[in-house]
Amino acid sequence: MTSTKLTITGGAGFIGSNLCEYFLKEGFEVTCLDNLSTGFRRNIEPFLTLPNFHFIQGDIRDLGTCRKAVEGSQVVLHQAALGSVPRSINDPINTNANNIDGFLNMLVASRDAGVKRFVYAASSSTYGDSAVLPKREHLIGRPLSPYAITKFVNELYANVFSSLYNIETIGLRYFNVFGRRQDPNGAYAAVIPLWVKALINHQSPFINGDGTYSRDFTYIDNVIQANRLAALIPSDELHTRMAAYNQTLPPDAPKDTVFNVAYGGNTTLNALFDCLRGNLAKFDPTIISVQPTYRDNRPGDIPHSQASIDKARQVLNYQPQFDALSGFSEACEWYWNNLK
């Protein structure tokens, strides 16, 4: 990078605020754009007095706001979205407006401002009904939810903008990210903070299905690493490594700059419950007696998800430091200290 200014959309959210914190500590000038619909001012409160932090409360669905947010930035880390598969099933129109219209606004604003690189939060939901494990970037199935459709369309738009407008785009397909600042409240809270909150309060968490569905749970620090690498890898290295990796793919495989961001592991929901309960019982031994409640699977959920991270290793030099177990331990300690 020839400058140290970047823009982080969704910067008051779970992942975005962690990215803000990291890049501020590294000395970057950070502009944070967030409408505070799913993010929280408390997540960025410690940064508001810093001279290298600028907060814009605004919406990515407004092109003018997007243009203001990217002024002078060389890199954009686009995290803003309306998440959750169930939310998208209940409200596909708002999901589309935020995740596609908002995404396109940010791409257009970035193109017009001369942004060099646009790194965006993609999603493992893009793999849809593909039963192939582990998931490899060039092998996807049919989307199973409106949310998954929006995330796939993001990848298509990014690829076209790279080809037409010479802006480098890198998509990071997150796999079940968890960790500090992930909100445990609300109808669409993710499974780990939701269960942790229930366990701390000696309540029985709900497990959808029989608990044998599995996920590649990914600790937040691994995601920070992936974003740092994607933002800072020199262009010539990116292109050289991509060309080498593409030589290993079938001739008809998509050859785009989209990468799985995960640990490459596989944890069932039953094992997740046992791990969270065991970690929290270190602080309150009575938690060990809490039992889960089983109910029907949710529409749009896939049975199993596990990532291949070979592409990210080879191209971005991604080396995740936290497996699921160590991440669960870190997260439980943070929630115990912050939810009590």
Task: Please identify every stretch of the chain with a pLDDT value under 70, giving residue numbers as ranges.
Answer: 1-3, 340
Same domain, yes or no: 40 and 172: yes
Q: Residue 213 and residue 243: Cα distance in Å, rounded? A: 36
Q: Residue 3 and residue 329: Cα distance in Å, rounded? A: 37
Query: What was the pLDDT predicted at 339?
Result: 84
Same domain, yes or no: 290 and 228: no
Same domain, yes or no: 109 and 207: no
Residue 183 belongs to a domain: no
Which residue bears the tokens 């890049």?
A: 23
Same domain, yes or no: 100 and 64: yes
Query: What was the pLDDT predicted at 315?
Result: 98
Residue 335 belongs to a domain: yes
Query: What was the pLDDT predicted at 205?
Result: 95
The 5-9 sheet, strands edge to edge = 53-57, 29-34, 5-9, 75-78, 117-123, 168-174, 258-261
Residue 51 belongs to a domain: yes
Query: What was the pLDDT predicted at 3?
Result: 60
Residue 186 belongs to a domain: no
Same domain, yes or no: 96 and 231: yes
Residue 331 belongs to a domain: yes
Cβ(52)–Cβ(6) below 8 Å: no
Which phi and psi angles does 177 have, rounded to 5°? Answer: -75, 140
Query: What was the pLDDT predicted at 1?
Result: 54
Q: Residue 12 and residue 28: Cα distance in Å, rounded? A: 17
Same domain, yes or no: 91 and 129: yes
Q: What is the CATH number of the domain that holds 276?
A: 3.90.25.10
Q: Residue 319 and residue 78: Cα distance in Å, rounded? A: 22
Q: What is the CATH number of the domain that holds 229?
A: 3.40.50.720
Same domain, yes or no: 195 and 104: no
Same domain, yes or no: 284 and 173: no
Residues 6+ apart with CB under 8 A from 155: 122, 126, 171, 256, 258
Q: What is the amino acid identity at position 260?
A: N
Same domain, yes or no: 78 and 202: no
Task: Cite the active site residues.
Answer: 147
Same domain, yes or no: 28 and 119: yes
pLDDT tens digits, one per residue of 228-249: 999 999 999 999 999 999 999 9
Residue 56 belongs to a domain: yes
What is the value of pTM for the model shown?
0.95
Between CA 135 and CA 262, with CA 303 as vertex, the angle to 5 degrees is 40
Query: Domain limits at 237?
Result: 5-178+217-264+309-316
Q: What is the dihedral of CA 67, 69, 75, 79, to 10 degrees?
A: -110
Same domain, yes or no: 159 and 35: yes
Number of domains in the chain: 2
Strand partners, 18: none
Query: What was the pLDDT predicted at 138?
Result: 95
Beta strand residue intervals within the chain, DSSP E? 5-9, 29-34, 53-57, 75-78, 117-123, 168-174, 177-178, 206-208, 214-215, 218-219, 258-261, 267-268, 293-295
Residue 259 belongs to a domain: yes
Query: What was the pLDDT predicted at 170?
Result: 98
Residue 184 belongs to a domain: no
Same domain, yes or no: 161 and 202: no
